[in-house]
C-alpha cells in the first residue's frame, strides 16, 4: 500500500525526491495564495488588486441571463456576453484603467478577434486524481468550482473538448492508473486544423511510456485530427507552456507524429518545438503582425532589435522592411527554431539570432548594429515583463522607436513609468482582443524619444 503523506507544508516542494512523495491521488492542489503558487509573482497588494483590469471590469459586466457553470464564470468571465457588448465593456474598462492609474495617452478602440469564441489553439488541463477518477481542471483553484471530472470551455475549439473528454475517461480506467498517478498536465496545441497532445508527467520510466503509447494510439484512432503526441517529464512542474519555458528537454519524447509544430502567417512559414511559446489566438496573429509593422513604420535603412523573439514570429515577418534584424531569446528550442526558420523565409536573410538570457547585464552586451543607421526595438516579454534594469539598459542604445507588447495589462503602469524615466514618451496605444471571453487584452504601446526628457536624464548621470 502507498505510504500516507505526512501533510508536508509544501506538498509540491521540489526538494522532496520523487520516491518520497505521496501518490498524486493523496496530494491536494496548491492554494492560490501559497508560496509555490505565487512563485515569480509580486507580493499581493490589495490596493493594486482593486485597480487591476479584471477588478475594474467586474462591476461593468452584467450577470448571465442563463445558468452558467461556476468554473466557466471563473475561467472565462465575459464569455456569456454578446461579443459586441464584451468589446464595449473592455473599451470602457481600459479607459477607466488608464484614468485610475493616471497613464499618459489614450488607448485606441480594441481591435476585435476574428474568432470570438473557440479561438484557443493552445489549451491545458491540470490533472488531479480524486479516488479512482481523473479530474481535468482549468487550474488548481478550479477544484472548489468544478464538480464534474471535465468541463468544456467556450474559448476552446470543439476538438479540444473531444480530446480532453476522451482522455479523461480513458485514463480513469483501472488499466491506466499508473498514468493517472503521474500526470501533471494535459496540453493541446497546434492549429484549427490539426492538434498535438502533450502529456506532462512527473517521472519517466518504461512502464509509463508503454501505457502512454497505448493511450496515444487509441486517441489517434478515435480522433485523427490529433496528428502528434509527446511526453514531457517534469517532476511537480508548474510549466504548462504559458508562464515559463522548460529548461531541460533531454527526456522530451515523441510518441508519434512530426517532431515540430507549424504555422503560416502572411506568406511566412514557421516551424517550432512543441514546448515553444506561441500566441493562443491563431486567428488574430496576422492582424497583430500588421499592427506592429504599421506602428513601427520601418524604413529600408533602419535596423530592428527583436527581444524575446521566440521562434522568430516578428523577426521573419518584419525583416524585409529593415536593413538588419537581430533577434534574441533564451537558449533553447525556440531560438534554434528562429535560426532554422530562415531557410523557409528568404526575405529574412538579413536577420540573425542570438541565444542568451535577457537580463540587465546581457542587454548591455548586445552588439550594436553593424551600420550606424537608426534602430527600433520590439520587445514581447513574458506576462510579468522584463527583468529589472533591462528597459533602462535598452534606452542607452537610444532607439528612435520602441514597441513594447504587453500580454498582461496590469504590468503596463510600471513599464510606462520605466520608459518615461529613460526619456521615452507614449506615442500610440493599440489594444488587441487576443483573449476574448477573458478579463485581459494584448496591448501594443509605441514609445518614442522625448528629447527634452532624454537631455534631462543625460545631465543627471
Confidence of residue 27 (pLDDT cuts 50, 70, 90): very low
Q: Is residue 89 domain-shared with residue 168, that is, in the same domain? A: no
Burial of 385 (0-12, 13-18, 19+ CB in 10 A): buried
User: What was the pLDDT predicted at 224?
Assistant: 97
**CATH number, domain containing residue 329:** 3.40.50.150
Burial of 143 (0-12, 13-18, 19+ CB in 10 A): middle
Number of H helices, E strands in the chain: 14, 15
Q: Is residue 112 domain-shared with residue 127, that is, in the same domain? A: no
Q: Is a pLDDT exceeding 90 seen at residue 19? A: no
Of the candidates 77, 83, 34, 40, the residue with the CA atom closest to the CA atom of residue 57: 77
Q: Is residue 224 domain-shared with residue 309, that is, in the same domain? A: no
CB crowding 264-296: b at 16 or more within 10 Å, else e: ebeebebbbbbbbbbbbbbbbbebbbebbbebb
**CATH number, domain containing residue 233:** 2.40.50.1070
| 156 domain-assigned | yes
Find the domain containing 312 and state its range: 53-116+281-461
How many alpha carbons fall within 13 Å on the CB side of residue 218?
14
Confidence of residue 38 (pLDDT cuts 50, 70, 90): very low
| 6 domain-assigned | no
- Ramachandran quadrant class, 310 (left: phi over 0; alpha: psi -120 to 50; beta: rest): left
| Rounded distance between C-alpha atoms, residue 393 and residue 390, angstroms | 5
Confidence of residue 16 (pLDDT cuts 50, 70, 90): very low
Q: Which of 41-55, 92-106, 322-336, 412-426 has the lowest mean pLDDT?
A: 41-55
Burial of 354 (0-12, 13-18, 19+ CB in 10 A): middle
| 10 domain-assigned | no
* Residue 442: strand, helix, or coil: strand
Q: Is a pLDDT exceeding 70 seen at residue 57? A: yes
Residue with cell 488588486: 49
Q: Which of 20-29, 302-311, 349-358, 440-449 has the lowest mean pLDDT?
A: 20-29
Domain boundary among 198, 228, 263: 263
pLDDT in tens, 139-167: 777 777 788 999 999 999 999 999 999 99
Supply the DSSP string of 259-272, one letter for each residue.
Answer: SSEEEEETTEEEEE
pLDDT in tens, 345-375: 999 999 999 999 999 999 999 988 776 789 9
Q: Is residue 239 domain-shared with residue 166, that is, in the same domain? A: yes
pLDDT in tens, 440-458: 999 999 999 976 655 565 5
User: What was the pLDDT predicted at 375?
Assistant: 96
| 9 domain-assigned | no
Confidence of residue 251 (pLDDT cuts 50, 70, 90): confident
User: What was the pLDDT predicted at 144?
Assistant: 73
Q: Is a pLDDT exceeding 80 seen at residue 33? A: no
Q: Is residue 134 domain-shared with residue 254, that is, in the same domain? A: yes
User: Would you say how long the chain is, in residues?
Assistant: 461
User: What was the pLDDT predicted at 450?
Assistant: 79
User: What was the pLDDT predicted at 373?
Assistant: 84
User: What was the pLDDT predicted at 452?
Assistant: 61
Helices 158-171, 206-222: crossing angle, 10 deg rounding: 140
Confidence of residue 2 (pLDDT cuts 50, 70, 90): very low
User: What was the pLDDT predicted at 31?
Assistant: 38
pLDDT in tens, 99-116: 999 999 999 999 999 999
How far CA 316 is from CA of 178, 279, 319, 335, 401, in Å, comes to: 44, 16, 5, 12, 19
Q: Is a pLDDT exceeding 90 seen at residue 59? A: yes
Q: Mean pLDDT for the chain?
A: 87
Q: Is a pLDDT exceeding 60 seen at residue 236? A: no
| Rounded distance between C-alpha atoms, residue 80 and residue 46, angstroms | 28
pLDDT in tens, 315-341: 999 999 999 999 999 988 999 999 999
Domain boundary among 228, 263, 298: 263
Beta strands in 98-158 (DSSP E): 123-130, 133-137
User: How many folded domains does the chain comprise?
Assistant: 2
Confidence of residue 50 (pLDDT cuts 50, 70, 90): confident
User: What was the pLDDT predicted at 457?
Assistant: 52
Q: What percent of the chain has pLDDT over 90?
A: 75
Q: Is residue 206 domain-shared with residue 233, that is, in the same domain? A: yes
| 101 domain-assigned | yes
pTM (2 d.p.): 0.86
Amino acid at each position: 500500500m502507498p505510504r500516507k503523506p505526512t501533510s508536508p507544508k509544501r506538498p509540491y516542494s521540489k526538494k522532496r525526491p520523487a520516491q518520497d512523495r505521496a501518490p498524486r491521488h493523496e496530494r491536494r492542489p496548491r492554494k492560490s495564495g501559497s508560496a509555490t503558487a505565487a512563485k515569480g509573482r509580486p507580493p499581493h497588494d490589495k490596493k493594486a488588486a482593486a485597480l487591476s483590469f479584471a477588478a475594474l471590469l467586474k462591476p461593468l459586466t452584467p450577470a448571465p441571463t442563463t445558468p452558467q457553470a461556476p468554473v466557466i464564470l471563473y475561467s472565462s468571465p465575459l464569455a456569456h456576453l454578446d461579443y459586441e457588448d464584451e468589446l464595449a465593456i473592455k473599451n470602457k474598462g481600459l479607459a477607466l484603467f488608464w484614468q485610475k492609474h493616471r497613464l499618459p495617452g489614450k488607448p485606441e478602440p480594441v481591435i476585435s478577434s476574428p474568432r470570438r469564441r473557440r479561438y484557443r489553439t493552445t489549451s491545458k488541463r491540470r490533472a488531479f486524481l480524486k479516488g479512482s477518477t481523473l479530474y481535468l481542471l482549468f487550474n488548481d483553484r478550479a477544484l472548489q468550482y468544478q464538480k464534474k471530472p471535465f468541463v468544456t470551455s467556450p474559448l476552446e475549439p470543439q476538438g479540444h473538448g473531444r480530446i480532453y473528454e476522451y482522455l479523461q475517461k480513458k485514463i480513469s480506467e483501472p488499466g491506466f492508473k499508473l498514468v493517472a498517478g503521474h500526470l501533471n498536465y494535459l496540453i493541446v496545441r497546434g492549429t484549427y486544423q490539426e492538434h498535438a497532445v502533450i502529456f506532462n508527467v512527473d517521472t519517466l520510466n518504461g512502464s509509463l511510456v508503454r501505457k502512454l503509447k497505448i493511450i496515444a494510439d487509441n486517441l489517434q484512432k478515435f480522433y485523427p485530427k490529433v496528428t502528434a503526441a509527446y511526453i514531457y517529464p517534469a517532476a511537480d512542474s508548474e510549466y504548462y507552456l504559458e508562464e515559463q519555458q522548460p529548461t531541460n528537454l533531454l527526456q522530451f519524447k515523441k510518441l508519434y507524429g512530426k517532431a515540430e509544430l507549424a504555422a503560416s502567417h502572411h506568406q511566412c512559414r514557421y516551424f517550432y518545438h512543441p514546448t515553444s511559446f506561441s500566441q493562443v489566438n491563431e486567428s488574430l496573429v496576422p492582424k497583430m503582425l500588421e499592427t506592429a509593422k504599421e506602428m513601427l513604420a520601418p524604413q529600408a535603412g533602419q535596423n530592428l532589435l527583436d527581444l524575446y523573439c521566440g521562434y522568430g514570429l516578428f523577426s521573419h515577418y518584419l525583416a524585409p522592411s529593415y536593413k538588419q534584424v537581430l533577434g534574441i531569446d533564451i537558449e533553447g528550442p525556440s531560438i534554434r527554431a528562429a535560426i532554422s526558420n530562415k531557410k523557409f523565409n528568404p526575405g529574412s536573410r538579413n536577420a540573425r539570432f542570438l541565444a542568451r538570457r535577457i537580463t540587465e547585464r546581457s542587454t548591455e552586451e548586445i552588439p550594436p548594429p553593424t551600420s550606424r543607421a537608426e534602430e527600433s526595438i520590439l520587445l514581447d516579454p513574458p506576462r510579468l515583463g522584463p527583468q529589472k534594469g533591462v528597459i533602462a539598459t535598452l534606452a542607452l542604445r537610444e532607439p528612435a522607436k520602441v514597441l513594447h507588447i504587453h500580454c498582461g495589462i496590469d504590468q503596463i503602469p510600471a513599464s510606462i513609468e520605466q520608459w518615461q524615466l529613460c526619456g521615452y514618451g507614449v506615442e500610440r496605444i493599440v489594444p488587441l482582443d487576443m483573449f476574448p471571453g477573458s478579463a485581459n487584452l494584448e496591448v501594443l504601446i509605441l514609445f518614442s524619444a522625448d528629447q527634452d526628457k532624454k537631455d534631462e536624464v543625460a545631465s543627471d548621470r
